[in-house]
Chains A and B, each alone.
Chain A
Amino acid sequence: MSKQPLRPDLALIAEWIKPGARVLDLGCGDGLLLDVLQRERAVRGYGVEIDDQALLACVRRGVNVIQANIEKGLSMFGQGRFDVVVLSMAIQATHQTEQVLAEMSSVGAQGIVSFPNFGHWYHAVSILQGRMPVSREMPYQWYDTPNLHLSTPADFEQLLAKLGLVVLQRAFLANGKAVNWLAPLRATQAIYRFARA
């Protein structure tokens, strides 16, 4: 239905998902990723969303969506029933970050997480100038941000290791374009695909 382009991190996530996969998209927003995956990759899945307006947007697209708070647990979704569990640009706003990651890995065979890279050089410069960074991926002032748990790629990989999860694939984007050289400093977004060791 919709012809609107996918956000770059979502486009990359979509490429990582095999046709026909069973997908659970946590914090699915308006359901665009699932909509595209359903139409272009014959993916079957459900979105999970807490926000009323986003839920309505999903229903209007014909995307299956479950209204729930992902931080209250994912037991409703059973164990190992999904090929992929996606959490895009939302992990930094979770309270129970470690628990959410652990549950993702038990609900699905693989997890895909994208998040804003707090280690971007601009953030360091901003802090050296005495100010909290405000950027495209993190457009909030320090006093009104929903972000609680910001991290760098190295931080994130450390948490995956602590949870017994291994990185299957990683990608870094700067303003929507892939970066390789000095990625931890230059990337504005990081995307990881992981599974239980």
Chain B
Amino acid sequence: MQVKAERMFFSEPLALAAGGSFADYELVFETYGKLNAARSNAILICHALNASHHVAGLNEAGEPGWWDNMVGPGKPIDTQRFFVVGVNNLGSCFGSTGPMSINPATAKAWGPDFPVLTVEDWVHAQARLADRLGIACFAAVMGGSLGGMQALAWSLLYPKRLAHCICIASTAKLSAQNIAFNEVARRAIITDPEFHGGRFYDAAVVPRRGLQVARMIGHITYLSDDVMAERFGRLLRDRDPDEAYRYTFDIEFEIESYLRYQGEKFAGYFDANTYLIITRALDYFDPARAFAGDLSKTMAQASCRFFVASFTTDWRFSPARSREIVQALLACDLEVTYAEIDAPHGHDAFLLDNPQYHQLVRAYADQIAINLGLSA
């Protein structure tokens, strides 16, 4: 499936949680499948930290989408009957207006002056894109991790604009430990001398070391202890396991090589200011805060049906976090199905092929289609 990104320009100011508003922004998006005459078969896919609008198919560079195993013709989210929208969030670095874009007030890159954004801000921006695409109500809004938070926020902010919320490997708020990992990542970036207070574009440099460390930290939290042990164990880099150690601080173990490789790859394509903005949006997400921490009262704003899933070895957003969401939904008498999927891969499992996981999503999507009267 060959896909092409589209752009949409928005001139009406978007009020932000941080105060003020943002005008004249562009969102990059992709769509797959066809919107039906009733405009009832649209599914919005929300992306996580480092992903983009390119959800499925092959883009012009020949790269597969980040959720290509989930979305596409004949996939669990079948684009032969659903019209799927992937959108790059405001403040991201894959084409939508973000810190790398030119600030019209200064004719320079926004850099650190780009506003701090929240999950709710993104959802409001996505709703405007839906308006322009002629989608009054999504059949489903779906996401994993930070994307799941956006799906949850949709159910609270626009309860009449989605029939189903599919929230995978997510949480209703970060734990202190989650925020702590984000803060380490941000400090790595901010204290990199090449960050230049966020104005590194002007100096034509990239805070690569900060980005690398940030990504290494993040990556550790995406994997389970077991999967790391299985894939890397105490394997030595380019040496037999029984060879003598080198007794240096260079790469000795395979896991070090892997993390550095991931860090370097990431620093080559991801924007440092975007990393700060997105991790902050994660930290701030806490819809129950407006209800004195009562998640049940919070979820009472919602009226759609929910599919919630977690993965047994995910310690970043553990099953206990998903169960809190389910418990709140049950207290509100809302329709919910919850799966706790036995997978060894940790948080990353939501992006991977897992027969039980994909069969469940497929079965749930089939029910959405049946209820909408969509043909197979």
Whether B360 and A81, one on each chain, are in contact in the complex, defined by CB atoms closer than 8 angstroms, is no
CA distance A55 to B338 in the complex (A): 9
Whether B340 and A81, one on each chain, are in contact in the complex, defined by CB atoms closer than 8 angstroms, is no
B84 CB–A CB distance under 8 Å:
no
A68 CB–B CB distance under 8 Å:
yes
CA distance A22 to B342 in the complex (A): 30
Whether A77 and B330, one on each chain, are in contact in the complex, defined by CB atoms closer than 8 angstroms, is yes
CA distance A22 to B326 in the complex (A): 17
**Which one of A58-66, A155-163, A188-196 contacts B?**
A58-66
Whether A81 and B339, one on each chain, are in contact in the complex, defined by CB atoms closer than 8 angstroms, is no
B337 CB–A CB distance under 8 Å:
yes
**How near does chain B come to A2, taking the closest CB pair, in angstroms?**
13
**Which one of B36-44, B199-207, B240-248, B362-370 contacts A?**
B362-370
B336 CB–A CB distance under 8 Å:
yes
Residues of A within 8 A of B360 (CB): 55-56, 59
A182 CB–B CB distance under 8 Å:
no
The A-contacting residues of B in range 345-376, CB under 8 angstroms, are 356, 359-360, 363-364, 366-367, 370-371
A78 CB–B CB distance under 8 Å:
yes
A76 CB–B CB distance under 8 Å:
yes
B335 CB–A CB distance under 8 Å:
yes
Return the chain B residue nearest A82 by Cβ.
B330
Given the contacts A59-B363, A62-B367, A76 and B335 also touching, CB distance less than 8 Å: no
Whether A52 and B336, one on each chain, are in contact in the complex, defined by CB atoms closer than 8 angstroms, is no
Residues of A within 8 A of B370 (CB): 62
Given the contacts A59-B364, A78-B330, A46 and B356 also touching, CB distance less than 8 Å: no
CA distance A15 to B75 in the complex (A): 40
Whether B337 and A66, one on each chain, are in contact in the complex, defined by CB atoms closer than 8 angstroms, is yes
CA distance A78 to B323 in the complex (A): 13
CA distance A123 to B338 in the complex (A): 40
Whether B337 and A64, one on each chain, are in contact in the complex, defined by CB atoms closer than 8 angstroms, is yes
CA distance A22 to B359 in the complex (A): 28
CA distance A78 to B366 in the complex (A): 30
- Number of A interface residues at 8 Å Cβ cutoff, please give it: 19
Whether A64 and B336, one on each chain, are in contact in the complex, defined by CB atoms closer than 8 angstroms, is yes
B331 CB–A CB distance under 8 Å:
yes
Return the chain A residue nearest B359 by Cβ.
A56
B301 CB–A CB distance under 8 Å:
no
Question: Which of A22, A56, A81 has the largest count of B CB atoms less than 10 A from its CB?
Answer: A56
Return the chain B residue nearest A60 by Cβ.
B363
Q: Which of B335, B340, B363, B371 is A56 in contact with, Cβ under 8 Å?
A: B363
Question: How many inter-chain contacts with C-beta < 8 Å in the A-B complex?
Answer: 52
Given the contacts A59-B360, A60-B363, A76-B323, A67 and B330 also touching, CB distance less than 8 Å: no
User: Would you call the interface of chain B mostly helix, strand, loop, or mixed?
Assistant: helix
**How near does chain B come to A57, taking the closest CB pair, in angstroms?**
9
Return the chain A residue nearest B296 by Cβ.
A78
B191 CB–A CB distance under 8 Å:
no
B327 CB–A CB distance under 8 Å:
yes
Residues of B within 8 A of A81 (CB): 330-331, 333
Whether B336 and A46, one on each chain, are in contact in the complex, defined by CB atoms closer than 8 angstroms, is yes
Whether A67 and B340, one on each chain, are in contact in the complex, defined by CB atoms closer than 8 angstroms, is yes
CA distance A78 to B342 in the complex (A): 26
Task: Type the 1/0 row for A29-61, where 1 means its CB is closer than 8 Å to any CB of B.
Answer: 000000000000000101000001001101110
Whether A59 and B337, one on each chain, are in contact in the complex, defined by CB atoms closer than 8 angstroms, is yes
Residues of B within 8 A of A64 (CB): 335-337
Task: Type the 1/0 row for B307-346, where 1 means its CB is closer than 8 Å to any CB of A.
Answer: 0000000000000000100110011010111111010000
Residues of A within 8 A of B366 (CB): 60
Whether A78 and B331, one on each chain, are in contact in the complex, defined by CB atoms closer than 8 angstroms, is yes
Q: Which of A44, A52, A62, A68 is B342 in contact with, Cβ under 8 Å?
A: A52
CA distance A81 to B339 in the complex (A): 22
**How near does chain B come to A43, taking the closest CB pair, in angstroms?**
13
Whether B367 and A59, one on each chain, are in contact in the complex, defined by CB atoms closer than 8 angstroms, is yes
Whether A76 and B326, one on each chain, are in contact in the complex, defined by CB atoms closer than 8 angstroms, is yes
CA distance A62 to B364 in the complex (A): 8
Return the chain A residue nearest B324 by Cβ.
A76
Whether A67 and B338, one on each chain, are in contact in the complex, defined by CB atoms closer than 8 angstroms, is yes
**How near does chain B come to A121, taking the closest CB pair, in angstroms?**
43
Residues of B within 8 A of A22 (CB): 333
Residues of A within 8 A of B342 (CB): 52
**How near does chain A come to B371, taking the closest CB pair, in angstroms?**
8
CA distance A67 to B311 in the complex (A): 12
CA distance A46 to B360 in the complex (A): 16
The B-contacting residues of A in range 70-84, CB under 8 angstroms, are 76-78, 81
Q: 3 closest pairs, A vs B, by CB?
A: A59-B363, A60-B363, A66-B338
Residue contacts A-B, CB under 8 angstroms, 17 given: A22-B333, A44-B333, A52-B356, A56-B359, A56-B360, A59-B339, A62-B367, A64-B335, A66-B337, A67-B338, A67-B340, A68-B338, A76-B326, A77-B330, A78-B330, A81-B330, A81-B331
Interface residues of A (CB under 8 A from B): 22, 44, 46, 52, 55-56, 58-60, 62, 64-68, 76-78, 81
- Not counting A44-B333, A78-B330, a sample of 11 additional A-B residue pairs whose C-beta atoms are within 8 angstroms of each other reads A52-B342, A52-B356, A59-B337, A64-B336, A65-B337, A66-B326, A66-B336, A67-B339, A68-B323, A76-B323, A76-B327
